[in-house]
């Protein structure tokens, strides 16, 4: 399957999900691996991307901060306003898909490809470490551009000058800083100045700052940061209407399972509320819902199952998401009863026999070092 072109100006009531090939290292193929190459196929499924209305919301903001060529195509080159540039702040709950959204749209629209260090042709993507300081962010930018021989007693202003110098040598024009909320509380006034220096004082980059709601509150709700707020266009990833989310989930479930070569078992296919289970189990989070779908598909693939079953979802949810939602929605009767679903074969609440029973999974035999199955 070939990668699909990013749809422009999708209506917000989009009803179909569009899985796309995810980010790959430079030089890696993006076509579907063969069915018998299990590791590659699992990696490919795990990294698939489903377009949504968020893509166009981000694209609209890119159009405001980047220049175009004579044909109207966006360039990886920031617009300047009286010698200063502008950027975008992309914020939303943790694990809602912010980073993937930004990278995928940048790849699509600007033709960028990132290496293992997050370095592209004209764009760099740097994840701010959990214990980061301003100096460490600058030195990480230097390292990403290939410069690691840093002086031991480097001041923050010196680190800034060196990072800007290295970025210009690498012809970087767009700086994506991810997990920026990790800097908050360090020195809020210093963080304000740190972000602004990419856009003014000779920085000249387009800055895309990604973070949780804490970052949005910092930029837009503090009066002392009003200048910073005026330089970063706000993109807060609001939850989709329920019908839109369910349409995206159903589309992704059908398409990705087919891409994996798996049928949908009766426990999924006959359950009219399976999308609701996913969405409610993930507490309305679109990003978590997509991750749950791909992880469950990979589990079925790795265990050699011919079909994707509700049991795959139950097991993944038990292991990965009970901390987030202590009620597993993939327990058949329990969830149906809580949802007050009616219309089963007897006219009453749906039960296991209406949906189709879950299929117990047998793990693939694991081989010992001597080759014997264990």
- What is the rounded distance in angstroms from the CA atom of residue 66 to the CA atom of residue 94? 27
How many helices (H) and strands (E) in the chain? 15, 11
- Residue 187: what pLDDT? 83
Query: What φ, ψ does residue 179 adopt, rounded to 5°?
Result: 60, 40
Whether residue 96 contacts residue 285, with contact meaning beta carbons closer than 8 Å, is answered with yes
- What is the rounded distance in angstroms from the CA atom of residue 38 to the CA atom of residue 305? 12
Q: Is the pLDDT of residue 81 over 90?
A: no
First to last CA, the chain: 36
Q: Which residue has better confidence, 310 or 365?
A: 310
Q: What contacts 91, CB < 8 A, 6 or more positions away?
A: 98, 210, 211, 212, 213, 215, 216, 234, 235, 236, 237
- Residue 207: what pLDDT? 97
Whether residue 53 contacts residue 12, with contact meaning beta carbons closer than 8 Å, is answered with yes
Give the alpha-carbon dihedral of 95, 209, 185, 182, to 10 degrees.
40
Give Cα 183 distance to the centre of its chain: 21
Q: What is the pLDDT of residues 315-353, one digit of tens each?
A: 999 999 999 999 999 986 555 555 444 344 444 444 545
Helices (H), the chain: 38-46, 53-65, 98-110, 134-144, 156-169, 188-197, 213-220, 226-231, 242-259, 266-269, 274-281, 286-302, 310-320, 332-338, 352-355
The DSSP code for 329 is: T
Tally of CA atoms within 13 A in the half-sphere of 38 that contains its CB = 11
Whether residue 192 contacts residue 225, with contact meaning beta carbons closer than 8 Å, is answered with yes
Q: Which residues pair with 349 in a beta bridge?
A: 342
- What is the rounded distance in angstroms from the CA atom of residue 191 to the CA atom of residue 89? 14
- Residue 337: what pLDDT? 54
Q: Is the pLDDT of residue 232 over 60?
A: yes
As a whole-number percent, the residues of the chain with pLDDT over 90 amount to: 68
Q: What is the pLDDT of residues 184-221, one digit of tens each?
A: 987 889 999 999 999 887 678 999 999 999 999 999 99
Q: What is the pLDDT of residues 137-184, one digit of tens each?
A: 999 999 999 988 888 788 999 999 999 999 999 999 999 999 999 999
Q: Is the pLDDT of residue 17 over 60?
A: no
If DSSP codes are grouped into helix, strand and coil, which group holds residue 8? coil
Q: What is the pLDDT of residues 101-124, one digit of tens each?
A: 999 999 999 999 999 999 999 999
Mean residue pLDDT of the chain comes to 84
69-72 — which CB contacts under 8 Å span 24+ positions?
Answer: none
Q: Is the pLDDT of residue 244 over 60?
A: yes
* Closest among 75, 78, 87, 57 to 233, alpha carbons compared: 87
Query: What φ, ψ does residue 121 adopt, rounded to 5°?
Result: -70, -50
- What is the rounded distance in angstroms from the CA atom of residue 38 to the CA atom of residue 189? 50
- What is the rounded distance in angstroms from the CA atom of residue 364 to the CA atom of residue 361? 9
Mean pLDDT of the 48-59 span: 92
Mean pLDDT of the 44-56 span: 91
């Amino acid at each position: 399957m070939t990668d699909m072109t990013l749809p422009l100006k999708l209506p917000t009531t989009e009803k179909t999900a569009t899985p796309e090939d995810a980010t790959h290292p430079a030089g890696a193929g993006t076509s579907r691996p063969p069915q018998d190459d299990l590791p590659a196929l699992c990696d490919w499924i795990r990294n698939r991307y489903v377009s949504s209305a968020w893509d166009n919301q981000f694209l609209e903001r890119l159009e405001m901060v980047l220049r175009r060529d004579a044909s109207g195509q966006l360039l990886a080159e920031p617009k300047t306003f009286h010698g200063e540039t502008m950027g975008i702040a992309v914020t939303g709950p943790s694990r809602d898909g912010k980073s993937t959204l930004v990278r995928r749209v940048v790849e699509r629209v600007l033709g960028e490809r990132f290496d293992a260090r997050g370095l592209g042709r004209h764009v760099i993507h740097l994840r701010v470490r959990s214990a980061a300081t301003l100096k460490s962010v600058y030195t990480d930018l230097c390292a990403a551009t290939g410069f690691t021989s840093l002086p031991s007693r480097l001041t923050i202003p010196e680190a800034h000058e060196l990072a800007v110098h290295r970025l210009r040598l690498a012809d970087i024009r767009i700086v994506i800083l991810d997990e920026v909320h990790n800097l908050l509380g360090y020195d809020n006034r210093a963080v304000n100045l740190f972000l602004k220096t990419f856009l003014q004082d000779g920085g000249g980059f387009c800055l895309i700052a990604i973070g949780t709601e804490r970052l949005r509150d910092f930029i837009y709700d503090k009066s002392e940061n009003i200048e910073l707020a005026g330089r970063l266009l706000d993109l807060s990833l609001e939850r989709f209407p329920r019908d839109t989310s369910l349409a995206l989930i159903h589309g992704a479930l059908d398409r990705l399972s087919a891409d994996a070569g798996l049928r949908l078992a009766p426990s999924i296919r006959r359950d009219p509320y399976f999308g609701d289970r996913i969405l409610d189990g993930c507490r309305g989070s679109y990003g978590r819902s997509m991750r749950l779908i791909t992880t469950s598909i990979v589990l079925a693939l790795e265990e050699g199952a011919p079909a994707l079953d509700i049991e795959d979802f139950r097991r993944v949810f038990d292991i990965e998401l009970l901390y987030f939602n202590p009620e597993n929605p993939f327990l058949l009767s329990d969830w149906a009863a809580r949802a007050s679903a009616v219309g089963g074969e007897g006219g009453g609440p749906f039960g296991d026999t209406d949906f189709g029973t879950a299929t117990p999974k047998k793990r693939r035999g694991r081989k010992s070092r001597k080759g014997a199955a264990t």
